[in-house]
Structure 1
Amino acid sequence: MPIQTLESLRMLCLELLGLTLTMAGVVVIATYWYFGSFALPAAQGALGFTLLMLFVSALPLQLYAATRIVALRRRNKQLFHIATRDGLTKVLNRAAFQKSVELRIGPDSRRRAEDDVPHTLLVLDADHFKRINDRLGHGTGDEALSLIAATLRMNVRKDDLVGRLGGEEFAVLLRNAGYEEAMIVAERLRSRINMLEVGPRHQRTRLSVSLGGISFKTKVSFEAAYKIADTNLYKAKTSGRNRVTLSQLGTLRSVDGIRPQIEARAQRRA
């Protein structure tokens, strides 16, 4: 059970216990007022029975409230998942991805300067996707998007973010990944996706993606990082597709110039 749920249950039990003790105090005062003292056997019997029933009845109330809290937490988690996930690919939708990125790297994020680590934003787009939809149908196109998303999730770390920005465009935020490591990861993603095929047996079509990215360490808005990554994606598209163009804040280096070395390093890390 999640820690937050356990903490909520603990607080609820303490609140119900406090309420029960308050009610017990009221019973004691009412009994004394009615009988005039606790010396009479009738007063003692009435007080003991009332207090016993009060504490006994509090137990099922606590169990019911605890069950309801757990159920509501589970339902809220399901609703949150539905609201933040892309329905087809199950990765973060654009709004959720952008918000999550801003919380990590944005100017208003709560990261301390000493906690700053390099990040890389990758933006990737499926090559010739319209051709797949037109030749093989939208069902095959949906299959291609799902395969691309699954490949992205399987080839990044748990604390990296994967989202679908819309259509055939995806994005990945790599945490604690500078320029060199991001090039390796980007090439690995490109090559793994390039191994995928979709379509009927007689019309198998190999998938490929073009990637653009930007590596940085300082706080930066999502829109600013995305604009640079998208520009690099355009360069990758216009220079032949199925390739990576990655730059670093303050530099204009591209991964294309050293692609053979990157592919060799990616194979060693895979």
Structure 2
Amino acid sequence: MLKKQIEAWVIRDIGLTEFDNWDTVLRFATRLSIRNSIIACVMVAGLLIVLHAFDVLLNPLVRDIAIGCGIAVIVAFVLTMLCCLYMGYAVIHLARTRLEFRQMSRTDMLSGLLNRRAFIEDLSQVERGYLLILDIDRFKQINDRYGHLAGDDVIVSVANTLTEIVGPTNLVARIGGEEFAILFQDAEFAEVVAMTERLRRSIANRLIDAFHQTIAVTVSGGLADITPLRDFSAVYAAADRALYAAKTSGRNRIVLERDMSRSPQADTPSLTLTDAAISAA
């Protein structure tokens, strides 16, 4: 019983302590050092009392207790503090390394955006919103004509444009070679439509300095609704069908899944985002 009480008193907050910064480590180390010093002082005092009972001590009991407890407090405090600081440093380093590794495992190394796996994980937790899939038009021809290094510069430039316009409130990911995905949340449909058109125009109007070349690119996209009744596969398939429609109807346009479902020629739609805005008006 006494052992459990001592353990609970000494380490009762270790499990609740998160060593994520040095202030936390110092507070924990100080508390634990004080507790261990008190325990060491009590143990030394008890031992000296026993030795005094056997008439082993050469000096008065009070003097020996004062000296012994003073030494015990200093030694216990210093050793505990050093051990805690070393342990705290190791835990902080481990936590930061783990965080960096987790971030790297979720990040596309070329574009700096979320990768496909991370995007799917985040999207699967969303019940309502909009999914936009964008594809750089004729990207293979860019690689063939200018080289793969230029193609990498194009991907980075498009990724930067998407990030600048979409902002931190929405998720942007690179989910394939030249394919990107954007998750819009907490936005009205009209706002999403306007932003997707702005994305398309910004990319089309921006010249890209790619490996000593100036390249103009366009993107095609498909926009689909995220609802509680659709899982990721269904939403992605709907957006992908709209993207395919944008590709087959001339590229450099955004096709809305909603307009495909209303169109009598749903298999080969040619309705672009601009057309949709005109129709809505």
1:50 to 65, 72, 75: 72
Aligned to 1:86: 108
Distance 1:63 1:262, change over 3 A: farther
Q: 1:185-206: CA deviations, max 9, x gaps? A: 1101101110233467997431
Any residues of structure 2 matched to 1:123-162 within 5 Å, and which?
123-162=133-172
- Deviation at 1:169? 0.8
Structure 2: tracts of 5 or more residues without a match: 1-17, 53-59, 264-268
Distance 1:86 1:53, change over 3 A: same
CA contact under 8 A between 1:13 and 1:62: conserved in structure 2? Answer: no
Q: Secondary structure at the match of 1:67?
A: helix
- Deviation at 1:61? 3.2
Query: TM-score, structure 1 length as denominator?
Result: 0.78
Identity %: 29
Q: 1:25-65: CA deviations, max 9, x gaps? A: 25513431343369431122101221122123333333333
The higher-RCO structure (CA 8 Å, 6+ apart) is 1
Distance 1:9 1:99, change over 3 A: farther
CA contact under 8 A between 1:179 and 1:215: conserved in structure 2? Answer: no
Which of structures 1 and 2 has the bigger CA Rg?
2
- Deviation at 1:176? 1.0
Distance 1:259 1:75, change over 3 A: same
Task: For 1:101, give the aligned amino acid.
Answer: L
- Deviation at 1:218? 3.1
CA contact under 8 A between 2:200 and 2:219: conserved in structure 1? Answer: yes
Count of paired positions: 248
Q: Return the alpha-carbon distance in structure 2 between the equivalents of residues 8 and 92 of structure 1.
A: 30
1:235 to 245, 258, 275: 245
CA contact under 8 A between 1:216 and 1:249: conserved in structure 2? Answer: no
Confirm or deny that 1:40 pairs with 2:62: yes
Distance 1:256 1:177, change over 3 A: farther
Q: Return the alpha-carbon distance in structure 1 between the equivalents of residues 152 and 249 of structure 2.
A: 26
Q: Return the alpha-carbon distance in structure 2 between the equivalents of residues 248 and 223 of structure 1.
A: 17
Any residues of structure 2 matched to 1:1-270 within 5 Å, and which?
6=20, 10=24, 13-14=27-28, 17-18=31-32, 21-22=35-36, 24-36=38-50, 39-105=61-127, 118-198=128-208, 204-218=214-228, 220-248=230-258, 252=262, 256=271, 259=274, 262=277
CA contact under 8 A between 2:37 and 2:73: conserved in structure 1? Answer: no
Q: Secondary structure at the match of 2:143?
A: helix
Query: TM-score, structure 2 length as denominator?
Result: 0.75
Structure 1: tracts of 5 or more residues without a match: 106-117, 264-270
Q: What CA RMSD, in Å, does the superposition of the two structures yield over aligned residues?
A: 3.3
Q: Secondary structure at the match of 1:103?
A: coil
- Deviation at 1:182? 1.2
CA contact under 8 A between 2:29 and 2:81: conserved in structure 1? Answer: no
Q: Return the alpha-carbon distance in structure 2 between the equivalents of residues 203 and 11 of structure 1.
A: 53
Task: For 2:135, give the aligned amino acid.
Answer: D
- Deviation at 1:103? 2.5
CA contact under 8 A between 2:36 and 2:76: conserved in structure 1? Answer: no
